[in-house]
Amino acid sequence: MNKVDPAQSVIIGSTRLYAIIGDPIAQVGSPRVFNPIMARSGVDAVLVPMRVAAKDLATAWAGLKAIGNFDGVIFTIPHKIPMTKLVDTVLTTGKLVGAVNAARREKDGRWTADMFDGRGCVRGLRDTLGFDPDGKSALVVGAGGAGSAVACALAEAGARRMTIADTVGARAGRLARVVTGTYTATAAQTGAADPKGHDLIVNCTPLGMKPDDLLPLDAGALKKSMTVVDIVLLPEPSKLLAAATAKGCQVMNGLAMLKGQAMEVSRFFGFA
Amino acid sequence: MNKVDPAQSVIIGSTRLYAIIGDPIAQVGSPRVFNPIMARSGVDAVLVPMRVAAKDLATAWAGLKAIGNFDGVIFTIPHKIPMTKLVDTVLTTGKLVGAVNAARREKDGRWTADMFDGRGCVRGLRDTLGFDPDGKSALVVGAGGAGSAVACALAEAGARRMTIADTVGARAGRLARVVTGTYTATAAQTGAADPKGHDLIVNCTPLGMKPDDLLPLDAGALKKSMTVVDIVLLPEPSKLLAAATAKGCQVMNGLAMLKGQAMEVSRFFGFA
């Protein structure tokens, strides 16, 4: 765990800080994704994990804003939606999704946020699997912050049909309306977490992080023509991706999605 | 600046956080002192710099306490005195000095602080120069947090006589009374920043950090029998230590003092 990474900036007095904030936090992959990017870019900065409970978010955020060398932050569960109310400006995608996953300090000290989860997924699908969502049918399981971002990005990328499944039906319905209302070429509807008839299956729930979690969908219905994505990072492979691989599906894990997203967020932060 | 340090923990999701908090911050040496100690101890933790203005300290502190993997902090100028009111418990040395430079989160979530600046100086003098303050006469320039800690530690180590100089006379007087009231074998008095008649000279002011700073004392009065310490870290050597070396004095810089102190603080934090 404490081996030397060949691509991590040495922390000195002038080092600038970035953070990933979530709860739980130990599973996040962002430090090992972003620190090499920053080091290779010659930026004197590091990204560190911060575990902040939902009830403490406003207090923690007020404190972090008071740190002069704190320049940017990535948000994960459960902060993506509440942070839209704590930053000064939410950019277009963040507004549409109703959630943000990155914010940066502007030169005037104000904080701007946007949502990059979904674009990271699409970029990862294209870069690592050569899978283009254009004209395809997708099942999105989970209509929270990540699920909303993935649904919007898939629609933006030309998905023809989409089923959105969430145990909170109203949440799935709201997202389906946002998608169809904005991307008129995409037929989005709510439905069960059933892979049947879809080209792409994306798990956007945290199910799979804990050993006794149920699968987010019926793996028995997976077919080898399907492409399966799981945003869960650990265990690697997740139970869902292990089942999908056994069925012959091509799969993409959370780390690949993070890498695609990292390119977009790095540009937003002003390096890479 | 971004070379790889052979002894810095790789930052991952489970990494615990420590910080040094001050304003200014770019000059601090603590990250390059503590990170190798933590890495060598096998602790999955890093220490990062945080610039926090005096007016923002309470807000920043409330926020940092809300970070679940934030375990310890080092305070530097201008926070050493105000932090005594923000932590839950101040240990004996910190109470005596009226300032703290390190705090740790206890298992029950409460924060305990103490002052290690002075003990670090004494340990550095013994370890790096073989200089023992026992029975010696010392000039301490600056009666703020660091000066108070050094004066108390020198008295604790048996200094026979001490002159405390500060442009704020009342501050010097208060410190002299604390020292003589606690360490009855030490004759402490206020006086000018004049090295004459002293074995040990310690600059505990920030003078020397900026290129156009005046020297904290009359370097013309330095004699080669004197030992000179400067808490200023950059430039290295400081103007004062360069002048002292030219006079033939043995000198100790702020980094050596930090290293001595780091051993004490590391033990306080629970590693090394």
Question: In the Cβ-directed half-sphere of A33, how many Cα atoms lie within 13 Å?
Answer: 24
CB contact under 8 A, A66 and B49: no
CA–CA dist A114, A29 (Å, integer): 19
Report chain A residues whose CB lies below 8 A from the CB of B61: 63
Cα diameter, chain B: 56
A146 and A80 in contact (C-beta within 8 Å)?
yes
Which positions 12-31 of A are in contact with B (Cβ < 8 Å)? 12-15, 17, 20, 23, 25-31
pLDDT of residue B24: 97
pLDDT digits (tens, 9 = 90+) for B50-104: 999 999 999 999 999 999 999 999 999 999 999 999 999 999 889 988 889 999 9
pLDDT at A6: 54
Among candidates A68, A115, A123, A83, which has minimal Cα distance to A96?
A115
CB B208 within 8 A of CB B200: no
Helix %, strand %, coil % of chain B (to 5) = 35, 20, 45
Q: Which of A80, A136, A239, A247 is catalytic?
A: A80
- Name the residue among B2, B49, B61 with its Cβ closest to that of A39: B2
Per-residue pLDDT of B7-40, as tens digits, reads 799 999 999 999 999 999 999 989 998 999 999 9
Query: A with B: how many residue pairs have Cβ under 8 Å apart?
Result: 166
Long-range Cβ contact pairs of A124-129 (< 8 A, separation 24 or more): A124/A229, A124/A252, A124/A256, A124/A257, A124/A259, A124/A260, A124/A261, A125/A200, A125/A227, A125/A229, A125/A252, A127/A260, A128/A252, A128/A256, A128/A260, A129/A227, A129/A250, A129/A252
Rg (alpha carbons) of chain A, rounded to whole number: 18
Nearest CA of chain A to the CA of B131: how many Å? 29
* CB-based contact A66 B63, cutoff 8 Å: yes
Q: What is the model's pLDDT at position B6?
A: 53
Interface of A with B in 60-79 (CB under 8 A): 60-64, 66-70
Are A69 and B5 in contact (CB < 8 Å)? no
Contact (CB, 8 A) for B202 and B144: no
Q: What is the largest CA-CA distance in chain A?
A: 56
Residue B210 has pLDDT above 90, yes or no: no
pLDDT at B3 over 60: no
Q: Do A50 and B62 touch (CB under 8 A)?
A: no
- Are A83 and A57 in contact by the 8 Å Cβ rule? The answer is yes
Distances (CA, A) of A174 to A95, A147, A192, A216, A218: 14, 12, 15, 20, 24
Domains B16-115 and B118-257 share a fold: yes
**Minimal Cα–Cα distance from B25 to chain A, Å?**
6
Set B3, B55, B65, B80: catalytic member: B80
pLDDT given for residue B258 in this prediction: 82
Q: Any catalytic annotation for residue B107?
A: no
Q: Of the candidates A9, A49, A56, which has its C-beta nearest B15's C-beta? A: A49
B60 CB neighbours in chain A (<8 A) are 63-64, 66-67
Asked if B131 reaches chain A (Cβ–Cβ under 8 Å), the answer is no
pLDDT band for B150, please (50, 70, 90 cuts).
Answer: very high
Of A2-6, A129-133, B207-211, B266-270, the range with the highest mean pLDDT is A129-133
**CATH superfamily of domain region B16-115:** Leucine Dehydrogenase, chain A, domain 1 (3.40.50.10860)
Q: Do B51 and A67 touch (CB under 8 A)?
A: yes
Give residue A4's pLDDT: 46
**In terms of CA atoms, which chain B residue is nearest residue A31?**
B12
Would you call A63 and B68 a contact, using CB atoms and an 8 Å cutoff? no
B82 has a chain A CB within 8 A of its CB:
no
Does the distance separating the beta carbons of A10 and B49 come in below 8 Å? no
Residue B244 has a pLDDT of 97
DSSP string, A30-75: HHHHHHHHHHHTT--EEEEEEE--GGGHHHHHHHHHT-TTEEEEEE
Domain ranges of chain A: 16-115, 118-257
- CATH number of A118-257, picked from 3.30.530.20, 3.90.79.10, 3.40.605.10, 3.40.50.720: 3.40.50.720
The whole-angstrom distance between B35's CA and the closest CA on chain A is: 8
Could you report the per-residue pLDDT of B163-187, keeping only the tens digit for each?
999 999 899 999 999 999 999 999 9
- Per-residue pLDDT at A243: 95
Residue B162 has φ and ψ, to the nearest 5°, of: -150, 135
Angstrom distances, CA of residue B179 to CA of B140, B149, B157, B185, B200 = 12, 10, 12, 10, 17
Neighbours of B250 (CB within 10 A): 17
State whether residue B128 sits within 8 Å of chain A by CB: no
> Which of A14, A23, A62 lies at the smallest CB-CB distance from B26?
A14
∠ Cα B129 B135 B141 (to 5°): 70
Q: Is the Cβ of B236 closer than 8 Å to some Cβ of chain A?
A: no
Question: Per-residue confidence of chain A (272 residues) as pLDDT tens digits?
Answer: 344 445 799 999 999 999 999 999 999 989 998 999 999 999 999 999 999 999 999 999 999 999 999 999 999 999 999 999 999 999 988 998 888 999 999 999 999 999 998 999 999 999 999 999 999 999 999 998 889 999 999 999 999 999 999 999 899 999 999 999 999 999 999 999 999 999 999 999 999 888 899 999 999 999 999 999 999 888 889 999 999 999 999 999 998 988 889 988 998 999 87
Over residues B99-127, the pLDDT tens digits come to 899 999 999 999 999 999 899 999 999 99
Residue in A80, A34, A85 with CA at minimum distance from that of residue A54: A80
A23 contacts on B by Cβ (under 8 Å):
68
| Structure tokens belonging to residue A234 | 């650990």
| Long-range pairs, B244-253, Cβ under 8 A, ≥24 | B244/B201, B244/B219, B247/B219, B247/B222, B247/B223, B248/B224, B249/B222, B249/B223, B249/B224, B249/B225, B250/B129, B250/B131, B251/B227, B252/B121, B252/B124, B252/B125, B252/B128, B252/B129, B252/B227, B252/B228, B253/B229
Please state, in angstroms and as integers, the Cα–Cα distance from residue B1 to each residue in A10, A15, A34, B238, following that order: 7, 9, 18, 21
Amino acid at B123: R
Task: Report whether B252 contacts B229 (CB < 8 A).
Answer: yes
Which positions in chain B touch A66 (Cβ < 8 Å)?
52-53, 56, 59-60, 63
Nearest-angstrom CA–CA distance, B248 and A188? 82
Closest residue in A to B18 (Cα) is A48
pLDDT tier at B233 (50, 70, 90 boundaries)? confident
Q: Measured between alpha carbons, how far is B105 from B268 in angstroms, rounded to an integer?
A: 11
CA distance B170 to B175: 9
